[in-house]
Every structure is written in structure tokens, then in C-alpha cells.
Structure 1
């Protein structure tokens, strides 16, 4: 089987890193085309031996990209096209059909209650989304919560398949040596209590809540934010205004599969450096950073995490939902700090989201899409 994955960009993000990890486990010949931004994940894919093409798309309305993508699909003689993220799903589904590829599936990574990849869920966005969705065979929802949102939008239930994101759990296992190295690299005191946040620095992630919570916490508490994005300058200004700039570290984008020769700590090492992960984003489609933190044995405070909420209550005893803003997070962080934690147990929820299991489910869907048979996929 020869498959082409079409994605909007390949900078460091949850969907982008999930694609790289997935291709390490899919038993199929896979190429990737990115419409824009061939960032560090593109370099990582190339290092893994995956062929990556950059379409050079200039914006959402660059319709000249459509014939270029169509020619690329036709020349590659792909059996199946798999699209990821809103713009790639729109252009990729149309181009696949024009190229004569009937087996087209898409993964919905980022639909929230009111926003889709940061854009408001207007009637126009919804109409365009549904028009493109009809051109594929199936849409993969990364959680039951996302599946419910898709049905609410108008995507027919039989076309939706729940295949959760996956992680390589052993990679995130706590390591004392990596903890010490990561803290030393970023100037974090060995005895500091480190609150971590992981994700794109965008308004929707609400990392400003953690900066304001830091202002209410003792001086030995540090904030370690892993990610980059348009809110970086605003976060720095807030920290400066509150007098906590010296207690906040922004690492920039950090892939969890670092490139060869990259001396900076990767995400796994940075999770080992933390004492707790906080995720104040109110609209997550899955909550990948939360699951990765749980795999590192961290306690987690979160506002939204379908990966945890869709599981039985005892599956993730180290995860606690927080309702409210900076004061609520500061209060919970003080509670966790007072309790302390000598061990880092990995909860059952982590085993549920094994990347090899995700890859097997996806291959079942590919096989069904190619045969044109019943697309029902087991969720076991």
C-alpha cells in the first residue's frame, strides 16, 4: 500500500508530531506533502527516511496550489490519501478526487466547541468543512468528544471513526539524569518546584493564566513553558509586569523526537524536569500533552482533556480538572506542592493510548477504504 499524507504545515505541534510518530509504526509506504511551513517536523521526517514535499502554498486562497497538488498525487500513483488539519483536508480531498484516488480519509485533530484550529466556527467555515468532508470515505476523530462535535456539526455518524492519538509511552518515562541535565541547561535550580506547560503559545492555550498564577506562588516556584507562537511577546510582557520574568523559562519549540545533533533537551527530558504539568486550555480535542505528562508520572491540572474525560474516573488518578483562572490554578498548585510526591506512577490511561495500537486501527481503516467495504473499525 502506498499512501500520501497531506498536512497544512510541519512546524512543531500536536498533529504534526503525531504524524511523525505514526509513520514510524504504519506498515505502509508513506510520503508526506506539507502545504506550508516545512519546519522542524519536516526535517525530522526526512531524518526518518520519509519523503517530504513542500507545496509552497501562500495562503488559504492560493487556489493555484490545487493543480500542483493534483499533479503530485497523480504522479505518485498513491493508493490512498490521508489529510490532516483544516486547509489540508479541503485542498487534499479535492486534489485526490481530481487525481483519481477514491480512497481518501481525514483526521480531525483540532475541532473545539467554538473554534477550529483557532478560527471561529462560523456558518461559512462549517459549510465549507462539510462540503469537503463528503469527498472522503471517512473522517477519523481523535476522541469520542471530537466524534460528538462532528456529529453535532452535521457529519453523518457512519462516516466517523474514533481512532485516538497515540504516544510512545516508554520514551516519556521519568529519568533522574535527564531531569538534572534539562534543569541545568535552562538554569532551573535543582530544588525548585517546576510547573510546566506544553503547547503552541496562542491565546486559546491560556498560558497567561499560569504566568498570573506564578505571581501568587512562592519564590522557589518556576514556570517552564515548552512551545512557541504569537503569544510569546505578550507572555513575556505579563511576566515582566508582574515581576516574575526571572522565574519563567520559555524553551521554544521542542520536538519529542529530537533531530540528530540537537543539543537542547527534548520534550521527554523537559517533562522529567517538571514537578507538575498544567494545561489551562478550555477547548482541547484530545489533550496529547496531558497524556504525555501522565506517561512521565507527573500530576496534571487541566481545564479540558477528552483523552482523560472519555475514560473511567479511576484511569488517571493523577489528573485533576480545574475550573477557573489564575487563582484556582495557584490554589491547586500550592496543594500539590504541599502534598509532595516521591514516586511517579504511570496510570492506566497511558496504556490505552499506545501508538502501535493506534497504527493498527488506522491500517484497518485504510484496508476498508481501499476495498470499499464496511468502514466500521473496532475501538478495542
Structure 2
């Protein structure tokens, strides 16, 4: 089986890194086309041995990219075209059908209740999505919550398959030596209460509230892993709260790393350096960072996380849902600080979302494509 994955861009982001991780576990011949931004994840995918083609798309309305994509698909003689992220799903479905590919799969990574990939939902966005969805064979939802949202949008339930995001669970186990080394490297005292967060530094993630909450806790430190357009604003918030010396922004973290000798600690090492993990985002499609934190044995506070909410309560005993206001964050963090440091065993949720399970489910979908219901 030969599969072409088409994705909007390959900078460091959750969907991008999830594609790279899945490629490492799929027992098929794979190639990748990125419409734009062949960044760090593209280099990582190539280092893993999968070819990446940059289509050079200039923007959402660069229709000249469509015939280029059709040519790539025809020349590759692929059995399946698998698209990722909104723009790639729209253009990729059309191109695959024009190139004569029968089996077209699209993964919906970032559909929230009120946004898609961080942008507000509107009637035009939904209409274009549904029009091109009918050109595909199946739509993959990364969580049961996303599957329900797709049904609400109007996607036929029989065309939806749930293949959850996954993690390399064994990599995320707590490591005491990594904790000490990472804290020393970042200048974090051994006895400091370190609050952590991971994700793109964008307004929808509500990291500004987390900065304000940690600023209100004397001697607490905040370790934020990620980069994005809100970085300067978050630094300004920290200064305004007189907590700039207690807020550490590490920048983007490529995970899995491309090789040894990288300057930045790995994501598992950074999680080992934390005492509690917080996800303040009110609208998530999955919540992969929460699952990674749980696998690292961290107590987790979250505002929204389908990955946890779609499971029985005992699957993630270390996770607690809270309100997203600054006072609620402060109260929850105070309670955890008073309880003292401690690590939890990997919960059932971490096992449930091991990438090997997700890869098997995706392969099962590929194998079933001829029998999937077609659009009317």
C-alpha cells in the first residue's frame, strides 16, 4: 500500500507532530506533501526516512496550487490520499479525485465547539468543508467529541471513524535524573513549585491567565513550552505582574527530537521538571498535551480535554477539571502546592492513547476503505 499524506504546513504544531509520529508507526510506504511552511517537522519527517514535497502554495486562494497537487498525485500512483488540516483537506480531496484516486481519507485534528484550527467558525467555513467532505471516502475524528461535532455539522455518521491521537507512552515515564538535570539547565531551584504548560502561544490557549495565576503564588515558577504570536504579550503580562523572573518560556520543542545533541531538553524531560500541569484552553479537539503530562505522572488541571472527558473517570485519576478564571486557577494550584510534590503512576488513559494502538486503528480503516459507505 502506498499512501500520500497532504498537510497544510509542517512547522511545529500538534497536528504536524502527530503526523510525524504516526508515520513512524505505519507499516506502509508513505510520502508527504506540505502545501506551505516546510519547517522543523518537515526536516524531522525527512530525517525519519519519509520524503516530503513542498508545494509552494502562496495562500488560501492560490488556485494554481491545485493542478500542481493533481500532478504530484498522478505521478505517485498512490492507493490512498490522506489529508490533514482544513486547507489541505479542501484542496487535497479535490486534487485526489481529479487525479483518479478512489480512496481519500481526511483527519480532522482541530475542530472545537467554536473554532477550527484557532479560527472562529462561520457558515462559509462549514459549507466549504462539507462540500469537499463529500468527495472523500472517510473522515477521521481524533476524539469522540470531534466525531459528535462533525455529525452536528452534517457529516454522515457512517463516514466518520475515530482514530485518537497518540503518544509514545514509554518515552514519557517520569525520570528523576532528567528532572534534576533539566531544572539545573533551566535555572529552576530543586525545591521550587513548578507549574507547566505546553502548546502554541496563542490567545485561545489562555496562557495569559496561567501567567497571572502563577504570579499570585509567591515562589512558584511557570515553565511554558511552546512558541507563537502571543509570546511578547505573555512576557509583558509577566513583567506587569512583577513575575518576569519566575516565568520561563522555553520556545518550541520538537518532539520526537530529530537526533542526539539537540540544545533543548526533550519534552519528556521538561515534563519531568514540572510539579503540576495546567491546560487553560476552553476549547480543544483532543488535548494531547494533557495526555503526555498524565503519562509523565503529573497531576493535571484542565478546563477542556476531550481525551480525558471521553473516558471513564477512573482512567485518569490525576486529572481534574476546573474553571478557567484566574481565581479558580489560583485556588486549584494552591491546593496542589499544599498537598506537596508527588508523582502518580501512568494511568489507563496513557495506555489507551499509545500511538501503536492508534496506528493499528488507522491501518484497519485503510483496509476497510472499499466497504465504506459513499456519499449520495
Instruction: Give the TM bin, normalised by the shorter chain.
Output: over 0.9
- Gaps of at least 5 residues in structure 1 are none
Aligned to 2:250: 251
* Residues 159 and 372 in structure 2, CA contact (< 8 A), matched pair in contact too: no
Query: 2:206 aligned with 1:228, yes or no?
Result: no
Q: Which runs of 4+ in 1 moved over 6 A?
A: none
The separation in 2 between residues aligned to 1:193 and 1:59, in whole angstroms, is 44
Aligned to 1:43: 43
- Residues 99-144 of structure 1 deviation map (CA, whole Å, 9 limit, x = unaligned): 1111000101100111111111100000001011111000001111
The separation in 1 between residues aligned to 2:346 and 2:62, in whole angstroms, is 46
The separation in 2 between residues aligned to 1:117 and 1:283, in whole angstroms, is 11
The separation in 2 between residues aligned to 1:60 and 1:266, in whole angstroms, is 34
Query: 2:29 aligned with 1:29, yes or no?
Result: yes
- Residues 55-86 of structure 1 deviation map (CA, whole Å, 9 limit, x = unaligned): 11111111111111111111111110000000
Shift of 1:216: 1.1
Query: 2:8 aligned with 1:8, yes or no?
Result: yes
- Residues 242-299 of structure 1 deviation map (CA, whole Å, 9 limit, x = unaligned): 1111101111110221122312101111011111110000000000000000000000
* Farther-moved stretch of structure 1 (153-162 vs 251-260): 251-260
Shift of 1:53: 0.8
* Residues 365 and 375 in structure 1, CA contact (< 8 A), matched pair in contact too: no
TM-score, structure 2 normalization: 0.97
The separation in 1 between residues aligned to 2:9 and 2:337, in whole angstroms, is 38
Aligned to 2:82: 82
* Residues 197 and 279 in structure 2, CA contact (< 8 A), matched pair in contact too: yes
Aligned to 1:291: 291
- Residues 315-343 of structure 1 deviation map (CA, whole Å, 9 limit, x = unaligned): 11100001131111111011001112433
Shift of 1:199: 0.5
The separation in 2 between residues aligned to 1:258 and 1:144, in whole angstroms, is 29
The separation in 2 between residues aligned to 1:302 and 1:116, in whole angstroms, is 20
Any idea what SS the aligned residue of 1:356 has?
A: helix
Any idea what SS the aligned residue of 1:11 has?
A: coil
The separation in 1 between residues aligned to 2:327 and 2:15, in whole angstroms, is 31
Any idea what SS the aligned residue of 2:283 has?
A: coil
* Residues 185 and 264 in structure 1, CA contact (< 8 A), matched pair in contact too: no
Judging changes above 3 Å, is the alpha-carbon distance between structure 1 residues 197 and 61 closer, same or farther for their aligned structure 2 residues?
same
Judging changes above 3 Å, is the alpha-carbon distance between structure 1 residues 374 and 92 closer, same or farther for their aligned structure 2 residues?
closer
Within 5 Å, give how 1:260-279 maps onto structure 2: 260=259, 261-279=261-279
Aligned to 2:315: 315
Any idea what SS the aligned residue of 1:209 has?
A: helix
2:371 to 359, 373, 379: 373
The separation in 2 between residues aligned to 1:273 and 1:101, in whole angstroms, is 47
* Farther-moved stretch of structure 1 (251-260 vs 149-158): 251-260
Query: 2:118 aligned with 1:118, yes or no?
Result: yes
Aligned to 1:145: 145
Within 5 Å, give how 1:60-79 maps onto structure 2: 60-79=60-79
Aligned to 2:54: 54
* Residues 193 and 275 in structure 1, CA contact (< 8 A), matched pair in contact too: yes
Aligned to 1:155: 155
The separation in 2 between residues aligned to 1:10 and 1:234, in whole angstroms, is 25
The separation in 1 between residues aligned to 2:187 and 2:258, in whole angstroms, is 23
Shift of 1:375: 6.5
The separation in 2 between residues aligned to 1:342 and 1:293, in whole angstroms, is 14
Residue correspondences, number = 373
Shift of 1:178: 1.2
* Residues 78 and 101 in structure 1, CA contact (< 8 A), matched pair in contact too: yes
TM-score, structure 1 normalization: 0.96
**RMSD value, Cα:** 1.2
Aligned to 1:240: 239
